[in-house]
Each structure stands twice: as C-alpha cells, then as structure tokens.
Structure 1
Amino acid sequence: MQLASLPNLLTLSRILVIPVVIGSFYVSGDYARWFACALFSAAAVTDWLDGHMARRWQQQSEIGRFLDPIADKLLVAATLFMLTTFGRLSAHAVLPALVILCREILVSGLREYLAGLRVGMPVSRLAKWK
C-alpha cells in the first residue's frame, strides 16, 4: 500500500501535528511556545526527509505527490494564522507572509490544473529552498 510507506507516513505526521501546534498557542507559558517551535522545526525537517527518502528508496507515489504540498501549506497557513491571531507576528510581517502563502496556493493550483491537462511542472532544486 502506498500510504504505508515511511515517506508518506512522515508526510501524514506533518498533517497530524497541526492541531498540536495550534493547541500550544492556547497554553500559557514559554514552554508551549518552544514546544510549538520544535514541532514546526521537526515538521520542516520531515518535509525535506520524506522527499529525499522517497526518491532514494524509489518510493515516490501519487498519494505522496498529492499530500506533500498540502501538508506544507496547511502547516504554514495554520502557524501564520495563529501567530497573527495571538499578536506574535508584527503588522509589517503579515503582508509578506500572506503574499508567500498566496503564491504557494496559486502554484499548487496551477500544478493541479496542468496535471489535469497532462502537462508536467517539476519542482526545481532552487524552488525547494524558498
């Protein structure tokens, strides 16, 4: 089963950690903030790791190609929303954050549209470092 591969399980773990990151904003104290930061950082590492493992172990799958960008966008959007809601993001940082998020959503939508037309749009190495 494609979903049970380790790269796909890492992708799913990023989705499953989102409610925990959100919940940490409702807990008072610095430990909760550091915990959320650690979870977000671990999720960022798994974002790189799942793709690396899938390519190296030849476990790339359609479900992985579909879920990976969704997991990324959900985690980033939820975190940006919580940081903004709780006043942890300055007003000057909100606009660039929204621009980045909108760009991500538009690129994902374009990829899905082109996939429907059977036109490939591979991700470049440079794009992975954004």
Structure 2
Amino acid sequence: MPDSFGRYPNMNISEYLDFFARAYGLRGASRREAVERVPDFTELGDLVNKPIDTLSKGMSQRLCPGRTLIHDPDVLILDEPAAGLDPRARVELRELIRLLASKLQKPGPDQLTHSHRAG
C-alpha cells in the first residue's frame, strides 16, 4: 500500500474498487462480492457513489487499504500508511488494517510496514 494513491476524479468509490479488482484479475461473482464487501469493512459503505476526489484525507486513507486487500494478497507491504494523519486517525487506520486483514477469505497476509513513527 503506497503512502499516497492516485485519485481518479471521474470514478466513485464502487467504480474505483471495481477497477482495481479487475486489475488484480478478479472476475465474475468473486469480483462483484469483493467490490461490495470492501466498503463495509472500511466504513465507506454509505459513500460508494461518492466521487473519489471529494473524499477527505482520512476517508481516502480508509479506501487505500481496501483497494490493497481486495484480492486477498499473500503479502502486504505498507509504505507510510498513516502519512499526514492526526494521531487519532493513525490509530483508527492501524485498527482498520488489522480488521481488514482478519476478514480475508484465507489466513491474513504477512505484513511489512514502513513508517517514521513507531506504534
């Protein structure tokens, strides 16, 4: 997961997740299920039709791990996942990543996190 991610102003959250699900090779029912599942885990379920470029920094940071985990990776590399977030949002993001990893179809991925902040 990068410390920042590209915004596609013409896409809403659902379209954005579908784009990455397709890029990761998900097809058919498994793709649709993943695209429907991720917004609920990231607490973005009520915003699936909201354009990506209107999300706050915190909401964007919630979407990024969802995008990263949509295809149930074996390894998860996080590069400054909480960059630019306030202390409370950093804690929330860390908990969200743990929650998302625990909800994957298979055992959670190995994780390597790079950060300038400990904890």
What is the TM-score of this pair, normalised by structure 2? Answer: 0.34
Name the structure with the higher strand share: 2
Name the structure with the higher helix share: 1
Bigger relative contact order, structure 1 or 2 (CA pairs below 8 A, ≥6 apart): 2
> Rg bigger for which structure?
1
